[in-house]
Structure 1
Amino acid sequence: MFACSFLLGACCMEYDSLFLSFYFYTAGITGLKLKTFKDNWFSDYQKTNNAGIPDPNGAVDWSFNALVGLFFPAVTGIMAGSNRSASLKDTQRSIPIGTLAATLTTTALYVISVLLFGAAATREELLTDRLLTATIAWPFPAVIHIGIILSTLGAALQSLTGAPRLLAAIANDDILPVLNYFKVAEGREPHIATFFTAFICIGCVIIGNLDLITPTITMFFLLCYSGVNLSCFLLDLLDAPSWRPRWKFHHWSLSLLGSVFCIVIMFLISWSFTVVSLALASLIYYYVCLKGKAGDWGDGLKSAYFQLALRSLRSLGANQVHPKNWYPIPLIFCRPWGKLPENVPCHPKLADFANCMKKKGRGMSIFVSILDGDYHECAEDAKTACKQLATYIDYKRCEGVAEIVVAPNMSEGFRGIVQTMGLGNLKPNIVVMRYPEIWRRENLTEIPATFVGIINDCIVANKAVVIVKGLDEWPNEYQRQYGTIDLYWIVRDGGLMLLLSQLLLTKESFESCKIQVFCIAEEDSDAEVLKADVKKFLYDLRMQAEVIVISMKSWDEQTENGPQQDESLDAFIAAQHRIKNYLAEMKAEAQKSGTPLMADGKPVVVNEQQVEKFLYTTLKLNSTILRHSRMAAVVLVSLPPPPINHPAYCYMEYMDLLVENVPRLLIVRGYRRDVVTLFT
């Protein structure tokens, strides 16, 4: 578009702008004040237009055009020369010198011409004689007529050689896919671009209305100049290291002033044409953002975003964020517990769940996977895997970044991630991972130690944990869920479980659900008091939920006599049997080797009564969930911390019993701070 505007501008504007610039300076020399000059010229132009026909509208402010038209054709000519800069031997040296020399020379010639016209003609002649140059020309007026024709044709031919090359250069930059037809190889003539440019020019000539074409061309010229000045302003203001202009006297204020002047002049000429031009430029920019590719020169706005991000990060500081300003920043652990199909970098439903942890999809997620091996040997593989993961994130329309870490094994890799990932208060605060449902079916004996180690690392690093069971059945944005979101609030978690349930309700898939909060009371007499307290707490938090209190006595009765007894009890007995066999093998190995009890290379202490207690408590909780929440859309339950010095295998048995027969479960552990506040 800019290339075509250069050509049209040279063809259509040169003569009229040149004459008006002479008139403006001559009027100034003869002592005519600007207001009087404006009124006289405007009234004269109202009387007759170019064809000698009365103009009743008189809607064009010609005095302002004469201000603007002083240098306009000269500048377009200078820019037309810059467009051919690819032919220069040393562009960095030649363009500044050539541009400044051309500007100074043109200015001097214009001023001399104005002085000569002021000395050779009267005010009346300047007001009435549109071809005053021909009238006073020597030796006869035809010289000027021929000169105007040759000058116009020369400018048109000059633009006809420059505009197609500019259009081809834009196409070769490969930032606008729609211009791919105009690409040319280096050293070849841009034939298609030339024909296209000529076609546009012929179409404008056929229109035959300079008053329609001229403002359009003017707007695109001024918009181009404003963009160039704005780019220089941003690069200088943001102190980009790549911005190293050879012109030492440059200052950002001059660029800003030039850009603002261009926009102001556009509105003064025609606000309607300005609005249309800005809208068209915005559409082109939006198209480039959607379909275009990044150029080798980078994006000046990215520097602005970078500086803004740095200032925002500094303003956040390192202090704890107030619960009112707390946002979940989930670290999505993509490493599968089993195998994924080839070229699938992450479980397809993990991004869907990550979006459910954000209000209106806003927020940052960090998708992390671990590549086993030596860093020097796997660095290239890690880059490829990172690109695949980033493509997956974009495809799932999830706001997040991808990171691949190379480590000797999963445990060491995760320990490094949880310590170093993020900056300041933008560090991830929730670790999200899939529950390893396949570990016993696939006989993956290394998973219990790794799973328990990850949970312990999160606790030490003060990170919240969300473990998703039933990820394969997690709904996407188009699968609407009905029923309830049930919370089993067993231990204090800073309100994280409540907050997650509220975030789920903001998604279309869960917006038809209602929240139920289940609490455990030690005695029947405490049930009503606890229910009232929890209701008051939820009311103060502006959260709507039904509160259900289960006493320990009724809990035991439901476990022993409920219809879900058989399936929970069967799982409980099977877990008892497996743990008994595991402990027997471990004791036999210790007696054989004469060493203390060891599990996963670490000494452990086994209190069989405590193991039995953990199993029975988990049985009661699983039985209660199956009794009240079998048809729930999703269940949230507190994550029990791994008992100290217990074998990891035993903990996995507790967890398997907890999630048994529950189709969709979120196991949540908060951290040592509140994420919701009672203060309004």
Structure 2
Amino acid sequence: MKKFGTFKGVFVPSTEAILGTVLFLLLPALTADVGLFGILMVIFLSHTVTVATAFSIADCATNLNNIGGGGMYALSKRSLGLSFGGSIGIQLFIAQAASIGFYCIGFAEPLSPLFFPHIQQMFPEIFSNTDSILLFKQLVATVVLLLFFIIVMFGADFTLKIQMFILVILFGSIAIIFFSPVISSDFIQDGIFSQTLHLKGMRPLTVSLFIITFTQFFPAVTGIDAGVGMSGELADPKKSLVRGTFLSIIITMILYIITVFIFSLMNPQKIILEHKDGLPIGNLLTDLLGSGNMFPYSIFGIIVLLGILFATSSSALSCFMTAPRTAQSLSRDNVLPRFLSFLSKDFRSSGNEPRFAVIFTFLIAFAVIWIGNINTAAMIVGICYLVVYGWVNGSAFLERISQNPTFRPTSRGHWLISFYGYLASLTAIFIFNWQLGLLIIVVQFIIFRLILKYKEEGKLEGVWWGVVYSFLIKIINVLNGIVQGTKNWRPIVTAISVKGTDKAPETLEIIARLLTQYKGFIHFHHILTEKDEEKDQIDEEARNNYGLIFSGDPTETILSMVQMNFYGNLSPNTVLLGYSKKIDTVRVIKKILSLRKNIILLKNGEKFSGFSEIDIWWRGEKNGNLMVLLAYIIQSSVDEKLNDITIRIIRKLSEDEAEHDARDEMMTLLSKARINGEVIILPFTDEDFLQTVTKISGKSNLVLMGIPGNYTDKTNRSLFNLNEFFFKKEIHKYDSLPPVLFVKSAITHSLIE
């Protein structure tokens, strides 16, 4: 397949798309309406958006070794991922295809005053009513569309040769406009030019008038996607896209500036016919320059008329070139529904031209021509273009701020430039029509979600991870300078399970995720044997969700893991451990407590059946506060899923405690802590503690109690002495209970502010 260079592949289609209907049909009236100063401000403001977009294109393009077809879609998907880029690409294709219809209607506009009266005389039955001039334009537009369809079907090389010829005519027509003030012939209408520049327009330049003028002019400068859309046909896309786009923007901006100086020499009263709905309605350029007086005998008049016709037709042809290639890339990337997979194919199996996509594009453009209310449709298309431009800038901005090592563009852009382009595009959307803009953004989000769900299995890719990571690091750095204290305590949990404990790993994961779902973070690890490392039976989900550790000595592995520190103040403060006979529980608990970390030991995890009822066996504030806090966090997490949960705080009195005082103390504590729960006070008996727990909590879903041990006072410090005998000889007696969380707090957590 033939590849193109910067001039033919990027500059020509972009320049022709920019020098379109606005230059020849709208710019004279806009200049007369707001004056030279006003229109220059509009031109400069509009070009700041496209220049920023060009810098963003340069950032994205020079970072890639292989861009591929699809233009702005191809650049967006590499940064934002296939799902988000696909939603942008679909909008871009629709905008490009619909634009063809608008440009074909624009082609018929200057022909109407020349040929419609004759057509009306020839076919009075068809063209007699008030809507007949619209019918004439639609018929002419359809003929032009068919002609362009045939040209594009011949392929890119033939189409670009046609565009080269059109570009010569365009520049010739613009040259005549430049020299029209000094041309001495009947071509120029008498009295149209004055000796001074009209710095002010017919109406005072207000903010609302400036915005109206901006919305009328801005679509003229959005044609750079026509050249960028040829990315798949370029010999060196990294260089050609950047050079061709910037060259096109600079040259067309110079041409627009010189042109408005010429138009500002014209008499505003002769340009503007009326104002309708706040917009200036002006004479056609052919009438202003008097070409209609001598047509078809004036060579100057013919060239100006051809310039107007070719300005609209070249824009249509440029879009007809790029739209099918966008559709082809979308189909090849499997973004579109399966029934549209034919859009990626050529008529010939060995061909690479998107000819089926050309037919599909033709049908969309044909529908736009005959849609009737073309102004609303044109507004939708314009906003779609702005959304695409906004996200191209957004992708470059996100790449810059994410500071991903893989993003190494050779261009000299800056994140502020891309950020300005993004904000300017977003602002322009809402200036055009905020209701339609909001609707189109919502539709794009829906398309993104559909692609993400059905094409990407719900997995988001692209720059997003780097962006979130970059912000996270900055936030963690801020956290480093803040003292957490008990007021801001969050469970940052290291959850560890050991293979061979039945269903305990699943229960451990459920509890860990509930503890951290809304209030903290979790690091989940599953210890396997060294023999498991040689097997291929470990599924991909386990590898992605858990930190798998292969070890011949689980105890030593856990002792090493609990000593690990993480970045910032997000180091684990709690260890959630699944009980296993394979580990030395006493050694592990002692080590965790020496590190001043909370320990939560899960026993009987295989019996887990939900969280309907949680029992907390209270023996004092040191452990009790943490247990109540954990139960509250679990309750809050489960309540989000519309499950009811009951917390019972149970206290068995000692021999010298009064029931009334104990109940008042517990109720006051829960009230001040703003925790809903039922208080149960059990009188002192000689019954064994385990028997009491079995009787009261045997049918509960989860039981929380302190790790057995006692406190001794030494040098004004209260030291915890672990009951090693319990873990070595008695823990098996708890096998008949529901899942039990043995808790030991490293600090006393405050429940009351």
Normalised TM-score (structure 2): 0.64
* Rounded Cα–Cα distance in structure 2 between residues aligned with 1:339 and 1:484: 22
For the pair 1:667 / 2:733, whether they are aligned, the reply is: no
Q: Give deviations 1:328-362, integer Å, cap 9, x for gaps.
A: 2232323333468xxxxx84444333344246x55
Give matches, 1:466-615, under 5 Å.
466-476=600-610, 481=612, 485-489=615-619, 492-493=622-623, 495-506=625-636, 507-508=638-639, 512-550=644-682, 554-556=684-686, 559=687
The structure 2 residue matched to 1:639, chosen from 707, 710, 713, is 707
The structure 1 residue matched to 2:272, chosen from 127, 133, 143, is 127
1:47 aligned residue: none
Deviation of residue 511 (structure 1)? 5.6
Deviation of residue 37 (structure 1)? 6.6
The structure 1 residue matched to 2:509, chosen from 351, 359, 381, is 351
Instruction: Give the partner amino acid of 1:203.
Output: A
Closer, same or farther in 2 for the Cα pair 1:15/1:464, shift >3 Å?
Answer: same
1:108 aligned residue: 254
Equivalent residue of 1:325, what SS? coil
* Rounded Cα–Cα distance in structure 1 between residues aligned with 2:371 and 2:300: 34
Equivalent residue of 1:468, what SS? strand
Answer whether contact 1:226 1:263 (CA < 8 A) is retained: yes
The structure 1 residue matched to 2:571, chosen from 399, 402, 427, is 427
The structure 1 residue matched to 2:200, chosen from 33, 36, 61, is 33
* Rounded Cα–Cα distance in structure 2 between residues aligned with 1:123 and 1:229: 38
For the pair 1:651 / 2:727, whether they are aligned, the reply is: yes
Answer whether contact 1:182 1:190 (CA < 8 A) is retained: no
Deviation of residue 217 (structure 1)? 1.0
Closer, same or farther in 2 for the Cα pair 1:544/1:159, shift >3 Å?
Answer: closer
1:323 aligned residue: 486
Instruction: Give the partner amino acid of 1:271.
Output: W
2:220 aligned residue: 73
Closer, same or farther in 2 for the Cα pair 1:234/1:516, shift >3 Å?
Answer: closer
Deviation of residue 109 (structure 1)? 2.6
* Rounded Cα–Cα distance in structure 2 between residues aligned with 1:237 and 1:513: 44
2:468 aligned residue: 305
Q: Give deviations 1:188-243, integer Å, cap 9, x for gaps.
A: 33344333323322222221322121101110111111222233333334544444
Equivalent residue of 1:211, what SS? helix
* Rounded Cα–Cα distance in structure 2 between residues aligned with 1:28 and 1:677: 84
Equivalent residue of 1:420, what SS? coil
* Rounded Cα–Cα distance in structure 1 between residues aligned with 2:247 and 2:469: 37
Answer whether contact 1:433 1:466 (CA < 8 A) is retained: yes
Answer whether contact 1:14 1:73 (CA < 8 A) is retained: no
Instruction: Give aligned-pair identity as a percent.
Output: 20
1:96 aligned residue: 242
Closer, same or farther in 2 for the Cα pair 1:157/1:347, shift >3 Å?
Answer: same
Deviation of residue 114 (structure 1)? 3.5
Answer whether contact 2:647 2:676 (CA < 8 A) is retained: yes
Equivalent residue of 1:299, what SS? coil
For the pair 1:465 / 2:632, whether they are aligned, the reply is: no
For the pair 1:629 / 2:682, whether they are aligned, the reply is: no
Answer whether contact 2:100 2:317 (CA < 8 A) is retained: no
* Rounded Cα–Cα distance in structure 1 between residues aligned with 2:595 and 2:251: 69
Deviation of residue 315 (structure 1)? 1.8
The structure 2 residue matched to 1:456, chosen from 564, 568, 590, is 590
The structure 2 residue matched to 1:263, chosen from 401, 423, 426, is 426
Equivalent residue of 1:110, what SS? helix
1:168 aligned residue: 328
Instruction: Give the partner amino acid of 1:463.
Output: K
* Rounded Cα–Cα distance in structure 2 between residues aligned with 1:675 and 1:29: 82
* Rounded Cα–Cα distance in structure 2 between residues aligned with 1:498 and 1:295: 36
Answer whether contact 1:504 1:511 (CA < 8 A) is retained: no
Q: Give deviations 1:412-464, integer Å, cap 9, x for gaps.
A: 2222221226333222333224344xxxxxxxxxx254344433333333332
Answer whether contact 1:431 1:466 (CA < 8 A) is retained: yes
Deviation of residue 105 (structure 1)? 1.8
Equivalent residue of 1:516, what SS? strand
* Rounded Cα–Cα distance in structure 2 between residues aligned with 1:355 and 1:504: 9
* Rounded Cα–Cα distance in structure 2 between residues aligned with 1:355 and 1:339: 19
Answer whether contact 2:651 2:680 (CA < 8 A) is retained: yes
* Rounded Cα–Cα distance in structure 2 between residues aligned with 1:667 and 1:151: 77
Equivalent residue of 1:492, what SS? helix
* Rounded Cα–Cα distance in structure 1 between residues aligned with 2:424 and 2:194: 24
Answer whether contact 2:577 2:600 (CA < 8 A) is retained: yes
* Rounded Cα–Cα distance in structure 1 between residues aligned with 2:542 and 2:309: 62
Give matches, 1:117-266, under 5 Å.
117-118=263-264, 121-128=266-273, 130-133=283-286, 135-137=289-291, 138-139=298-299, 141=301, 144-173=304-333, 181=341, 184=344, 188-248=352-412, 250-266=413-429
Mean CA deviation greater in 624-633 or 127-136:
127-136
Closer, same or farther in 2 for the Cα pair 1:675/1:133, shift >3 Å?
Answer: farther
Q: Give deviations 1:620-660, integer Å, cap 9, x for gaps.
A: 12111123333334322212259989988x73431111x14
2:99 aligned residue: 9
Answer whether contact 2:526 2:549 (CA < 8 A) is retained: yes
* Rounded Cα–Cα distance in structure 1 between residues aligned with 2:196 and 2:525: 73
* Rounded Cα–Cα distance in structure 2 between residues aligned with 1:12 and 1:241: 43
1:604 aligned residue: none
Deviation of residue 5 (structure 1)? 0.6
**RMSD, matched Cα:** 4.1
Closer, same or farther in 2 for the Cα pair 1:178/1:637, shift >3 Å?
Answer: farther
Structure 2 residue ranges without an equivalent (≥5): 1-90, 111-173, 179-192, 274-281, 292-297, 711-719
Normalised TM-score (structure 1): 0.70
Answer whether contact 2:397 2:415 (CA < 8 A) is retained: yes
Closer, same or farther in 2 for the Cα pair 1:422/1:406, shift >3 Å?
Answer: farther
Answer whether contact 2:604 2:735 (CA < 8 A) is retained: no
Deviation of residue 255 (structure 1)? 2.6
Q: Give deviations 1:579-633, integer Å, cap 9, x for gaps.
A: xxxxxxxxxxxxxxxxxxxxxxxxxxxxxxxxxxxxxxxxx12111123333334
Structure 1 residue ranges without an equivalent (≥5): 40-60, 341-345, 392-400, 437-446, 560-619
The structure 2 residue matched to 1:405, chosen from 536, 539, 549, is 549
Deviation of residue 403 (structure 1)? 1.4
Closer, same or farther in 2 for the Cα pair 1:647/1:275, shift >3 Å?
Answer: closer
Instruction: Give the partner amino acid of 1:109.
Output: L
The structure 2 residue matched to 1:367, chosen from 506, 524, 527, is 524
Instruction: Give the partner amino acid of 1:167.
Output: A
Deviation of residue 368 (structure 1)? 0.7
1:398 aligned residue: none
1:578 aligned residue: none
Answer whether contact 1:486 1:515 (CA < 8 A) is retained: yes
